[in-house]
Amino acid sequence: MALGVAAVLAGGGIAALNTAGSPASPGTSRPAQPAQPAAAIASHTGPLTSEEARKASRIAVGDATGQDPSPRGKGDRSKGDRSGEGGKERNATGGSGAEVLDTHRPLRDKSAPAAPDSEAEVQLYDYASDALITRLVDLRSRKVIRSDRRRGVQPPPTLAEVRQAVKIILDDRRLGPRMRDSYASETKKTLASPSQLLVQGMAFLHSRARGLSGAQKVSRCGVHRCVQLFVRIPGGKWIDTSRIVIDLSARRAAVIGL
């Protein structure tokens, strides 16, 4: 069963490959939306501006002053929503506040009443409870209108998450040195940061490892947030990470399929 880049890791670790082509781009910037008839859905305004997206994210996560982003007042459907450990949501690095995955205008059925221009929808991942959260926020009042939480749903990872996955590999005592060696042999430089690499990622579910050696190492993937990476040295070769699965929730990497 092929996983990711079609090459086997040298020595069970990582090898730089001379490849003219590239793996199929998995797409990392925006989680897939449920398929719906185009005629039935209409966005009530244009896309969010960069400033609106940042503001919506701050409201949904809760700012550094400790603001509780939970909804207030009539129409609150998220009682018990903040179910992370101790009621505190966490991002991919373990910091306070859920990881922002996407911000956009809420999609509306054409038959529904027009929505205020100030509404935005924010999708987040809470690493404390391994839950995907969708929050509808009002940019004018700076409040969360509605919040829904689901488990076992894994949208594509963001750039921040795939860079965190690279960091986990670099911190691994077995895999880290091999990735650094691959980079050094190609560039004659030291690999010190994930930002030195071109990285894409895709969500990984445990079902993809069925029948492979080491499958038990990734049995929690799907409940946990796990990713598989496509890594390239800028202007150079691909670094083969096709057999590596990074469990962002547990903050560890596993090699499977050897």
Residue of 104, 102, 100, 101 whose CA lies nearest to 48: 104
Residue of 11, 4, 12 whose CA lies nearest to 256: 12
Q: Is pLDDT at 68 greater than 60 in this prediction?
A: no
Q: Could you tell me the two tokens for 31?
A: 């989680």
Residue of 171, 172, 175 whose CA lies nearest to 239: 175
One-character DSSP codes across 93-127: TS-BSPEEEEEEPPEEETTSPPPPTTEEEEEEEET
Q: What is the pLDDT of residue 9?
A: 35
Mean pLDDT of 214-219: 96
Q: At what angle do helices 175-187 and 159-171 cross, to 10 degrees?
A: 100
Global confidence as pTM: 0.75
* pLDDT tens figures, 110-150: 665 655 688 999 999 999 999 999 999 999 999 999 999 99
Q: Is pLDDT at 102 greater than 80 in this prediction?
A: yes
Contact residues for 158 (Cβ-Cβ < 8 A; gap 6+): 28, 29, 99, 100, 101
Residue 167 C-beta-side C-alpha neighbours within 13 Å: 12
> Hey, is 179 helix, strand or coil?
helix
State the DSSP H helix or E strand holding residue 61, giving kind and residue range, or none if neither: helix 50-61
| Alpha-carbon gap, residue 43 to 39, rounded angstroms | 11
* pLDDT tens figures, 158-213: 999 999 999 999 999 999 999 999 999 999 999 999 999 999 999 999 999 999 99
* pLDDT tens figures, 140-153: 999 999 999 999 99
Contact residues for 12 (Cβ-Cβ < 8 A; gap 6+): 255, 258
| Alpha-carbon gap, residue 68 to 71, rounded angstroms | 9
